[in-house]
């Protein structure tokens, strides 16, 4: 990076995370370039510097990286070997392929976390049918099956209730070539997330621990601060920071945690990690002094990080999940009219049922009222309420 020139951050992928990074880049005076698959991708709509290309194409990644001072990512579905090559050739990729592997390869993540003494559910590779029976004998039914690579928002995760379901599942998936793993089923009291921003040298800032309210494996609401004891929040925070260091994260790393009732009180178990800005941190755009997107950019540029304090006692984010294929536009004024005020964030994506097309954030002095306001505004925007 030549020190006098405006630094250019390249983002591989042009989804809503890239879009929100672009919003955060404008005040910092940073140049942003995106590698988009389509010219109408969420971030490509708001970026003057768009390259069309694919994140699993080594040549596209190389040519893109050559135009950027630092490369970062909108998602993990990227050809890691190509990123490693770019880095070996002197390019700056943050987070790098070593860190990304924790998010991309769940079996690797579980193995490494277990080795480090971190609290993960019991797990095993699904190599053959007897492996399922053996795992169930040890940990009981139901058991969870996950694809080792990819999968998010509930995709690539199955719950098997008994040996019969397991047999059907195994027969259906055997020979598909998808690497699967088994995991102990955990009875969840609630789910938390903790976001850490980390610079290359190890300096970190941590966001307030939040509760994520999930339905069918999809996050619907995020509540900041999480309604848990200070002690649980502190443990969550410590786990997030330990994982940031262990994975060598640069930028935002999100750790999703299960709260589980144990014999000696609540326990925390690690669910997933995402080595990039994360849905559980969208509340920070309106709700914190420095958003996760601003701190992600600052971290990947190795610039000092900003304070993460909440700017209101309670901040609630509700995702907008498409209900139909109707345009949201006529509903925007109605959502803006919700008493108390909300902050809509629309991603410029075509509406499809179940698709994340935006989110809305509410700030307030009362936990219940703030949550109700965010949820109501989300219902208005998705057409479930007027």
Residues that bind a copy of itself (CB under 8 A): 3-7, 19-20, 22-23, 26-29, 31, 44-48, 50, 285-286, 289-290, 298, 302-307, 311-312, 326-330, 332-333, 336-337, 340-341, 343-348, 358, 363
Helix (H) or strand (E) holding 124: strand 123-125
For residue 107, give the 3-state DSSP assignment: helix
Least separation in angstroms between CB 340 and a copy of itself: 8
In the block, residue with structure tokens 């990123």: 83
- Measured CA to CA, the distance from residue 316 to residue 282 in angstroms comes to 10
Q: What's the min distance (Å) between Cβ of 355 and a copy of itself?
A: 14
Residue 310 in contact with residue 316, Cβ under 8 Å? no
Distance of CA 275 to the CA centre of its chain: 7
Cβ-based nearer residue to a copy of itself, 271 or 279: 279
- The C-alpha atoms of residue 268 and residue 185 are separated, in whole angstroms, by 14
Q: Of 108 and 303, which has the nearer Cβ to a copy of itself?
A: 303
Smaller CB separation from a copy of itself, 172 or 329: 329
Q: Tell me whether residue 259 or residue 297 sits nearer to a copy of itself (CB atom).
A: 297
Q: How far is the CB of 325 from a copy of itself (least distance, A)?
A: 11
Tokens of 174: 């055997």
Say if residue 84 is exposed, middle or buried (CB neighbours under 10 Å; 0-12, 13-18, 19+): middle
CB of 289 to a copy of itself, least distance (A): 6
Q: How long is the chain? A: 386
Pick the closer one to a copy of itself by CB: 218 or 332: 332
* Residue whose CB is less far from a copy of itself, 6 or 163: 6
Q: How far is the CB of 261 from a copy of itself (least distance, A)?
A: 37
Least Cβ distance, residue 246 to a copy of itself (angstroms): 26
Beta carbon of residue 238, minimum distance to a copy of itself (angstroms, whole number) = 23
Token digits for 160?
């098997």
Nearer to a copy of itself, 258 or 347 (CB): 347
Round to whole Å and give the CA distance between 223 and 355.
21
Report the distance separating Cα 291 and Cα 24, nearest Å: 8
- 184: tokens are 């102990």
């Amino acid at each position: 990076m030549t020190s006098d020139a405006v630094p250019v951050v390249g983002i591989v992928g042009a989804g809503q995370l890239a879009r929100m990074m672009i919003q955060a880049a404008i005040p910092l005076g940073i140049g942003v370039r995106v590698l988009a698959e389509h010219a109408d991708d969420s971030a490509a709509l708001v970026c003057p510097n768009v390259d069309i290309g694919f994140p699993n194409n080594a040549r596209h990644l190389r040519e893109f990286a050559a135009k950027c001072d630092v490369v970062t990512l909108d998602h993990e579905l990227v050809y890691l070997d190509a990123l490693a090559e770019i880095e070996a050739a002197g390019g700056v990729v943050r987070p790098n392929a070593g860190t990304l592997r924790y998010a991309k390869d769940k079996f690797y993540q579980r193995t490494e976390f277990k080795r480090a003494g971190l609290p993960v559910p019991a797990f095993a590779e699904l190599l053959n049918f007897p492996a399922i029976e053996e795992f169930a004998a040890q940990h009981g039914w139901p058991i969870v099956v996950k694809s080792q690579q990819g999968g998010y928002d509930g995709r690539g995760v199955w719950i098997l209730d008994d040996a019969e379901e397991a047999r059907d599942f195994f027969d259906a998936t055997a020979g598909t070539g998808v690497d699967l793993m088994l995991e102990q089923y955990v009875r969840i009291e609630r789910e938390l997330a903790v976001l850490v921003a980390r610079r290359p040298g190890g300096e970190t800032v941590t966001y307030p621990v939040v509760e994520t309210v999930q339905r069918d494996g999809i996050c619907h609401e995020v509540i900041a601060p999480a309604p848990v004891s200070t002690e649980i929040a502190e443990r969550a925070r410590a786990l997030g920071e330990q994982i940031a260091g262990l994975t060598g994260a640069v930028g935002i790393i999100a750790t999703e945690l299960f709260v589980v009732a144990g014999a000696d009180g609540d326990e925390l178990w690690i669910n997933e990690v995402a080595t990039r800005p994360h849905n559980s941190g969208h509340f920070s755009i309106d709700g914190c002094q420095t958003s996760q997107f601003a701190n992600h950019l600052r971290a990947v540029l190795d610039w000092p990080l900003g304070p993460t304090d909440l700017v209101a006692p309670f901040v609630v984010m509700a995702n907008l999940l498409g209900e139909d294929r109707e345009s949201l536009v006529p509903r925007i004024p109605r959502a803006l009219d919700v008493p108390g005020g909300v902050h809509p964030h629309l991603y410029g994506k075509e509406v499809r049922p179940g698709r994340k097309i935006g989110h809305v954030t509410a700030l307030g002095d009362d936990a219940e009222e703030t949550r109700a306001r965010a949820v109501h505004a989300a219902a208005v925007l998705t057409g479930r309420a007027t």
